[in-house]
């Protein structure tokens, strides 16, 4: 996934990725209304990392033909 996404974080783990900040803010507000006194945070992705160390490469050799 290369697009930014937003999650709502409360006391437990964030479980849903929102496509827009507005969706995440609405969800945080909904959760706050249902849970007076608890704080909910809207978190935005800013970067990501991937380890990519397996790569195929071709050799400049004659094809093997046993016949």
pLDDT digits (tens, 9 = 90+) for 33-55: 999 999 999 999 999 888 889 88
Total residues found in the chain within this entry:
67
Q: At a CB cut-off of 8 Å and minimum separation 6, what does 18 contact?
A: 5, 6, 7, 8, 24, 27
pLDDT of residue 31: 97
- The domain spans of the chain are 6-44
Question: Is 66 or 18 the better-scoring residue by pLDDT?
Answer: 18
Distance, CA of 47 to CA of 11 (rounded, Å): 24
Average pLDDT (2-10) is: 90
In 10 A of CB 7, how many CB atoms?
18
**Chain centroid, CA 61 distance in Å:** 42
């Amino acid at each position: 996934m290369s697009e930014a996404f937003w999650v709502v974080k409360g006391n437990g783990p964030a479980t849903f990725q929102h496509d827009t900040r507005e969706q995440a803010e609405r969800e945080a507000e909904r959760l706050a209304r249902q849970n007076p006194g608890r704080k909910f945070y809207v978190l935005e992705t800013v970067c990501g990392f991937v380890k990519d160390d397996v790569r195929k490469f071709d050799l400049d050799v004659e094809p093997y033909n046993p016949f």
